[in-house]
Chain A
Amino acid sequence: MNIHYLFALFVALLCIFIPYAGVEFAHMQTFFGVFIPYLAIVIFTVGVISKMLSWVKRPVPFRIPTTCGQQKSLPWIKSNCIDNPSSFFGVILRMAFEILTFRSLFRNTKSTIKEGNKFSYEWEIFLWVGALAFHYAFFVTLFRHFRLFFENTPVCIQIVESLDGLMQIGLPIIYMSGIVLFFAACYLLFRRTYIPQVRYGSLSADFFPLFLIITIAGTGIYMRYFGKVDIVAIKELTAGIFSFSPKVPENVSSIFYIHLFLVCVLFAYFPFSKLMHAGGIFLSPTRNLANNSRIKRHINPWNPKVKIHTYEAYENEFREKMIEAGLPVEKEGA
């Protein structure tokens, strides 16, 4: 146990207690059901945009892609157009693979020393699997929830729902995404506490979002499969928020408010945290630039003026010696 872990746990528990107390004892349904979600949406939107702008407005002085394959050089040497792109199209491919399939994480290896002195590097797939499962499950779950904002569920959401519910065992339909999200987040928490190299540098900011998401997924699963929440009332509330005519129904249980509040905290926290990697990946100069700086000049907007030691100054210092050594000079014996 370290302070980072405990602090994150403490704040997460606080985030559970606040809406619970607020709804159960203070009856602040409108505050937690309407005000907080609006606030969170505003903070999220403004926060993400301003963070992205803060990155975009900063220059990229040099073209520094990390090249992970053969460059484009001689025509008979096959170049790796994805991992060492030389064109814009190649960059699009590289970024697409990076963002959609976590290509770099896929390379992960684990190093061990065998027989006392042999370094060995084995392919380590679990982080990749865990991360991919986590992100896709999160995305699908989030997407499914948009049904709560519409009176009539749009077709695209229906399709995702039916795909997500393919593994139907009984009623209600089991959505894989929620379950996968829960377990993937638990796995990520597990590896963060289990692997010494990861645990050692982990911060509250690493545990906190995991605690939030695990609880969000947990409460969501509870509400869907175990607790009897009034889904019609909830939809009335959420659709109301979305159509800017919020209504607060009476019979929504406090577990929903906990769920909602945690989601709001997550969204409001997003722009100020490492969660912004979701936006940052698009702007990482080692990934989003083509390795073509020998073909086409990359411009540095603040390219500094520097004073170079000129040939003239050089020859002035060494002229006699150069002449003696038979080296050509610009000015004979000046």
Chain B
Amino acid sequence: MGISKQQQQRLNRWALILSIPLFLGSWEIISRSGVVNSVLFPPPTRVAIALYQWATEGSLIVDVAMSLSRVLVGFISGAIAGIVVGILTGRYQFMANLLSPVFQLLRPIPPIAFVPIVILWFGLSELGKWFLVFWGVFFTVWIAAHLGVQRVDKTLIRAAQCLGTPEQRMLPEVLLPGSLPYIFVGLRTSVSISFYTLVAAELAGTFSGVAYRIDIAQQNLQIGQSLGGLLILGLISATADKLFGAFSKKIVWWS
């Protein structure tokens, strides 16, 4: 006895369709049932209203734009620096000997631990936020590029040498494309890292931003907006990750 394969497949499909509605529904019921304090744990309908008000009467667009700009500036600068330095240390033993010990020392320091120092150095300026995101991204991309260059198929390098590829053309012709699949793995990890770091950066003190707004709303006991902010952060971060995944599939399609 049991259910047929077809029935099983139909059940599986319904599980997927109902996943999010069930989650929101249970949340709504629990919040409103009185088991928990609905001020501290508002139901999704109230979160939606808070989000709507934030968007229409508040500064949602500005907050999202500010947060995105911090992530973008930190991510892009960290990624470029990480790739360049990683290729140098991966390719030249001298550069590796010079820089790797320092980087290995600094790399494990969580960016969040830098917040007090960053406030001292940069005040509440944007530079401090960029620096923190940069810090989070740089080391991840650096190590990916460093290892990527070293893991380029040795036979490919030999094949290129036998085809008369001069040393200065080796980088653009073989080493960079050969290490791109590794670099993109590092870059994709860094997309998530840059959002983690963004939160630390905005909690450190600023005047706008999604994580900043979450903090402020909490202080005003507007928990609906706080939770809405979390949803927004999750949504943006997940979208960025998906977009980057599609982008990297397009760029390093052969891996």
Chain A partners chain B: no
